[in-house]
Amino acid sequence: MAAIPPLPPQGARLHWKQAPKRLRDAFEAWAGSPVAEAVTQPSGFSPGVAARMLLADGRRVFVKAVGPDINPDSAGIHRREIRIISGMPEDVPAPRLLWSHDEGEGGWVALAFEDIEGEHPRQPWDLRELDRVLEALVALGERLTPNPLPPGVARGAAETFPREGWRTLRDEGGRRRQGLAPWYRSNLDLLAQLEAAVPEAVVGDTLVHFDIRADNILLSPDRVWFLDWPHALVGAAWIDVIVMAPSVTMQGGPPPEEVVAAHPACRTADPEGVTAVVAALAGVFTEWGSRPPPPGLPTLRPFQSAQASVARDWLLRRLGEA
């Protein structure tokens, strides 16, 4: 099993009291109760506030909030999550959105969710917990087929699935390309051709989370909860387990082939389409991992690079090169 990377999935967190007073006042006006305690939650790739709140009247909520000075893209990501989670069916195992606040362009965005009592999966992965998550992922795909959101709320995977990593490294990589093993440097044309086949491969009518990792999962005694939905796409039902697999292996779980083997949608998927998606993942994680860290996300690039290593090995095995 692979070692857990030294840097965990963490953004640069702010304490609730560091958020603008106008935002905190707006939250308490909605809640009808002052905040008695705010406990910052360290895990997850979003900068800004991420805190479990205890209100003076005894209620609990989870709040996340970000402003444009922390990371220029994060406010837009929060806005996209508001649109997606607002239309989610009640029985989907995702925390309900209770309140949102958007100051508009150049301002802060905040979301308040029901607080879920649960724990992230243990690291390294425990196989019993992994089985629970994979079973829940199958059920999630069945519930979200067909896509239950109104048209246009979630983007289509065929249009937006990242698939230009190898092409970028081939055409613009320069020194970043030099860190690749010789086989990859010699086969960048083939790799770019493989990833270019992604749009046709990922067509489907399932709402997929597209960012499932241990830090986006909570395990309660009777349920598996999937958190953080801003990147949700509409596409093939097997996308989520393929995208999740490299992080599982990277964090001490079994090889990707074993992670995806039991998923019914993967068993019926076109093998060449799956290989195209694995190639795209290997390419974008490799290319992203070679970039400087984005503002407020100091551990993102090492985390992506660790997933890239797993995805590249997986791709070699699928191509018969390992």
Structure tokens at 231: 């990147």
pLDDT at 157: 98
Per-residue pLDDT of 134-181, as tens digits, reads: 999 999 999 999 999 999 999 999 999 999 999 999 998 777 787 899
Does the pLDDT of residue 2 top 60, yes or no? no
- pLDDT of 93 strictly over 70: yes
Q: Which range (41-45, 108-112, 183-187) has the least confidence?
A: 41-45
The answer to whether residues 115 and 52 touch, using CB atoms and an 8 Å cutoff, is: yes
pLDDT at 298: 84
Model pLDDT, residue 6: 52
Q: What is the mean pLDDT of residues 185-204?
A: 97
* C-alpha span between 293 and 299 (Å, rounded): 8
Q: Are 110 and 64 in contact (CB under 8 A)?
A: yes
Mean pLDDT of 257-279: 95
Least reliable range by pLDDT among 37-46, 92-101, 110-119: 37-46
Q: Which residues of 257-283 are buried (b: 16+ CB within 10 A; e: fewer)?
A: eebbeebebbeebeeebbbbbbbbbbb
DSSP symbol at 158? H
What are the structure tokens assigned to 179, written together?
Answer: 């860190």
Please say whether the beta carbons of 230 and 81 come within 8 A. Answer: yes
Q: Which residue has the tokens 């970043």?
A: 176
Host H or E run for residue 60: strand 60-66
Q: What is the average pLDDT across 270-294? A: 96
Question: Which tokens is 153 given?
Answer: 């709320």
Q: Which two tokens stand for residue 37?
A: 């305690």
The confidence band for 24, taking pLDDT boundaries of 50, 70 and 90, is very high
Polymer length in residues for the chain: 322
pLDDT (average), residues 298-318: 94
pLDDT at 295: 85
Alpha carbons 206 and 149: distance in angstroms, whole number = 10
In percent, the amount of the chain with pLDDT more than 70 equals: 97
Give yes or no for residue 131 having a pLDDT over 70. Answer: yes
Per-residue model confidence (pLDDT) at position 10: 65
Does 8 score more than 80 pLDDT?
A: no
Identify the sign of the CA torsion 262, 264, 267, 271. Answer: negative
Mean pLDDT confidence for 197-211: 98
By percentage, how much of the chain surpasses pLDDT 90? 86
pLDDT at 5: 58
Mean pLDDT computed over 241-268: 95
The predicted structure's pLDDT at residue 297: 83
Contact 226/243 with Cβ under 8 angstroms? Answer: no
At 136, list the tokens.
């829940």
Q: What is the pLDDT of residue 46?
A: 79
Q: How many other CB atoms are found less than 10 A from the CB of residue 304? A: 21
Amino acid residing at 147: N
Orientation of helix 271-289 relative to helix 300-318, angle to 10°: 150
Question: What is the rounded average pLDDT of the residues 20-39?
Answer: 98
Stated pTM of the model: 0.94
CA 82, 295, 6, 137: dihedral to nearest 10 degrees?
20
Average pLDDT value for residue range 7-13: 70
Taking all residues of the chain, what is their mean pLDDT, rounded to a whole number?
A: 94
